[in-house]
Structure formats: structure tokens, C-alpha cells
Amino acid sequence: MLSFRGVLIAATAACLAALSVPGSAFASPEVATTHLTHGAQLLGATPQQALDRYWTPERRREAEANTAAGLHRPVYSSEHAPGVTGQPEGPAVTIAPSAISSAVKWPGGQYAAPAAMMGKLYFTSDQGLGGVCSATVVSTEIKSVIFTAAHCVHGGKFRGYSTNLWFYPAVKNGFQSSYGGWPGFRVEVPAGWRTNSYPEMDYAGVVLLFNNLAQTVQSRTGALGITWNQPKNYYAYAFGYPGAAPFNGKDLYYCHGSTSVSFLNSSVLALPCNMTPGSSGGAWLFNFNSGNGFGLVNGVTSELQTWPGGWNYSPYFGNGAGAIYNLVRWG
């Protein structure tokens, strides 16, 4: 198995290389590697071993209860990010989806697109509380990237990064899949999220390490494509693992319908949907094909409104989302 030290050296070199390329003002100017709390570090010689042992069923239940209780709901700035119009900021950019490279049995769709590429991201917040969000594997050269909501991995203005990031794909009936889990290594969030908690910047890219078998997540699950600078009004399929009543966080759910622009912020999109906390970070898919299960990630659930009837919200994916993707695609 490739040692964690080797992964760390290679990933650090890739991070520095990425930072040497001029980027958007939306992109994070810092390299943020994720950390393990002291208690988690004591549980294994590698992050894979330590986090696999740290996220016991009891800790996962506590994280899910915290999330269902709304303890990780984001607190947004009432201001709009300067220079963000919510309009396409250039030609639409699309990264094609990646099919899995080896044959995997599809038991009831759990290991088929899109469910195989979606999962639950457990974390410990900067305030020490366990939590859980939804996340999606996106197609990259490094084959180790998930997209989620920024508030799942960083608390926003005056706050810090989450620790103990652990991604379980293809969860069904409350049980993790045969894929196992992957530890988070590096996080990229927009600078405007870290400094001001702008709602239109509530998205993040997370680079994962290998699993215990030295496999990348994309080599096991496949990956969905990603796109940005698409029209704001489109027919979306939103996915996630809602954990508060009437849901229980054990299964992947979805809503679908036409998006509209939030009346509070023209750079935030709205979708009629009653998913609850736990679905934050779940992908909004553009051009979804229900026949083969593939689509393009064009947003992530950021905020939820359970009345009247339920609304979910996503930041518009413009050049800022593209900049975050380009910072993590090579690791």
C-alpha cells in the first residue's frame, strides 16, 4: 500500500503547483489540508485507519442527530458578494462524466449511477460537534474529489475548518456500501465564504486520500460530470440524504423540477423540495438522464426552507465554482 507520507508529499506538491497558476478572486488563496482531532489520531497509524475507527456507529448517530436538530445550519451574510451577478460569466463549461473502469454488480441500484457516486460526508465542526452532509464524486484527473456545501467543511465568517472528514458513498438502508470510506485530505472553499459567509459561495471541493486498499474513490464508484455558466432556469434533479423528520438519513432521496431565482439573492437558485438537514451538499444535476443515471453537477444544496411546502436552495455555479473545481481536479 502506498504510504500516507508518500501521498502527503505528492498531494502537497500538487497543491503548490495549483497555487502557482493565476486564479479567480473567488478561489481560495490558501492550501487547507484537513486535520484529525487528537482523539482520532490516537486510533490508527494512518488517516484511513484512524477515521475508520473514529466514526463508530455511535458517533455517526450523534452526528446525524446534531444535523437533524439544525446545529449545523449555515449563518449567511445579508450582503451580496461584490462582482457576482448570478448571470453566466462566460461560455458554458462542461466536464464529461466518468464511467467506472471495472465491472461492479448493481444490487438494486446501490452501485449504479447516480447513487454509487453520492454519499454521506461525516465531519467534526470547528466547534467540536459531529455532523453529516451529502456529497458527490465529480470527475477529475486525480480521481479523488467530491463536491459539497462549503458550510459542511468550514463554518464561514469568524469560524474555522471542519476536521475528521470521512466520506461514505452509496449508503443505503442506513448501511455503508462495500466500498468503505475515504478520508478527506484537502479542502477548497471560496475566499468569500471564509471571510463573509456569502450564500452564493456556499460550495466546496474536497480532495480525498486513498481508502484502506489504496484505491481512489472514482476508481471504485465512477464519477459524475460537472458544469458551470449554464442558464439559471433549468430542470434540476436534486439529491441528498435528508436526516430530519419526516426522513431519517438512511437513504438517498431526490426532488426534481424547474429552478427559479431566489427573491433574496439573484445568485442563488431555488427548487421546490422538502428535503431536510443532512441533504446539504447534495448535488443538483443538469441534463440528468434517468435511463443511465448520469448528469452534470450544476449546484449543491446549501439552505433549506421547510415551509410552505418546502424549498431547497443552491448557489449558482458560475466561474467561482469552476475556479474551485480547477483547484482540486489535479489534487
pLDDT, tens digit, for every residue of 277-325?
A: 999 999 999 999 988 999 999 999 999 887 667 899 999 999 999 999 9
Distances, alpha carbon 88 to alpha carbons 60, 73, 92, 322, in Å? 39, 28, 7, 12
Strand partners, 208: 184
Do 98 and 292 form a contact (C-beta atoms < 8 A)?
A: no
pLDDT of res. 11: 40
Do 252 and 115 form a contact (C-beta atoms < 8 A)?
A: yes
pLDDT interval class at 79 (50, 70, 90): low
pLDDT of res. 81: 57
Percentage, residues of the chain above pLDDT 90: 67
Q: Which of 78-82, 207-211, 249-253 has the highest mean pLDDT?
A: 207-211
Give the CA angle between residues 169, 282, 239 to the nearest 5°.
90
pLDDT of res. 31: 54
pLDDT interval class at 246 (50, 70, 90): confident
Average pLDDT over residues 182-206: 97
Do 302 and 202 form a contact (C-beta atoms < 8 A)?
A: yes
Name the burial class of residue 9, with classes exposed (0-12), middle (13-18) and buried (19+) by CB atoms within 10 angstroms of its CB. exposed
For the chain, the structural domain boundaries read 4-75+91-100+107-328
pLDDT of res. 309: 72
Average pLDDT over residues 92-120: 64
CA–CA gap between residue 122 and residue 35 (Å, rounded): 13
pLDDT of res. 216: 98
Set of cell numbers at residue 221: 464508484
Mean pLDDT of the chain, nearest integer: 85
CA–CA gap between residue 205 and residue 313 (Å, rounded): 18
pLDDT of res. 89: 64
- Top pLDDT among 226 and 93 is at 226
Distances, alpha carbon 184 to alpha carbons 84, 135, 153, 164, in Å? 29, 12, 10, 7
Nearest CA-CA partner of 281 in 209, 187, 218, 215: 187
Q: Of 81-85, 249-253, 275-279, 283-287, which range is least confident?
A: 81-85
Name the burial class of residue 286, with classes exposed (0-12), middle (13-18) and buried (19+) by CB atoms within 10 angstroms of its CB. buried
pTM of the model: 0.84
Distances, alpha carbon 12 to alpha carbons 90, 141, 159, 223, 262, in Å? 31, 16, 24, 23, 39
pLDDT of res. 327: 97
Q: Where do the DSSP E strands lie in 66-161?
A: 93-95, 118-124, 130-137, 145-148
* pLDDT > 50? residue 10: no
| Domain at 4-75+91-100+107-328: CATH architecture | Beta Barrel (2.40)
Nearest CA-CA partner of 303 in 256, 270, 325, 331: 270
